[in-house]
Amino acid sequence: MSDNQLGVIPEHIANLSKLVSLSLAKNFISNLDKSVCNLLNLESLDVSGNKWLNGDIPLEFSKLTHLVFFDSDDTKLYTTSPALKKFITKISPEWINEPPPLTERQDLCISFITTKSDHLAYSKHAEIPILIVMTQPVRLIDGDLIITLETGETDQEIYIPPFPLSYTATANYIVQEGDFSEDLNVKSLELTRWRKSNQ
């Protein structure tokens, strides 16, 4: 399907479950659809030459465990996931990951949320440590800090109880049956019955 003036990845491409090689090179595709990540037998994927193809590569890309060739030259694809970067670099050592710079803010905000663990696969009931890093010290008095994670078929919530003055807050996520995302994706962050203080 290369050099075919395609604007999007064909609908229902995931139905080609036994496909081992796919070239979408030199088209006008602007989004790497998650449906490609369901081609679990894929060994070769070429999306090079799609000058409008940009954005964060879906975390589900790491499900393509049979992939031995990946070409994304002349695109603006990137990942913000250290684990996914490691996965892709093993397949394509020349790949250059260039995520956009983080925008600086003066007001209080979450700097980033990460995990010390860098595995690409977890067993059921495994614990994944989560670290929330803030731009200034904060203490939470009463209530809970709720993190909603996209982990697979359903979203999962983690409740962090009140904590003393700190730049960080920590939690553990326990892998549930049905989880398939090999890197946790934060959907939302909210507070309930809370009183925040930076004193």
Strand partners, 132: 113, 169
Handedness of CA 47, 178, 184, 197 (dihedral sign): positive
Q: What are phi and psi of 37, to 5 degrees?
A: -70, -10
Tell me the percentage of the chain whose pLDDT exceeds 90. 35
Higher pLDDT, 166 or 35: 35
Model pLDDT, residue 165: 82
DSSP 10: P
Residue 151's pLDDT band (cuts 50, 70, 90): confident
The 8-class DSSP code of residue 85 comes to H
Model pLDDT, residue 115: 59
Could you report the per-residue pLDDT of 77-108, keeping only the tens digit for each? 998 888 889 999 999 999 999 988 755 544 45
State the average pLDDT for the chain: 81
Claim: this prediction has a pTM higher than 0.95: no
Structure tokens at 90: 């093993």
Q: Is 100 helix (H, G, I), strand (E, B) or coil?
A: coil
- Residues 137, 198 contacting (CB under 8 angstroms): yes
**Residue ranges of domains in the chain, CATH in brackets:** 13-91 (3.80.10.10), 110-197 (2.60.40)
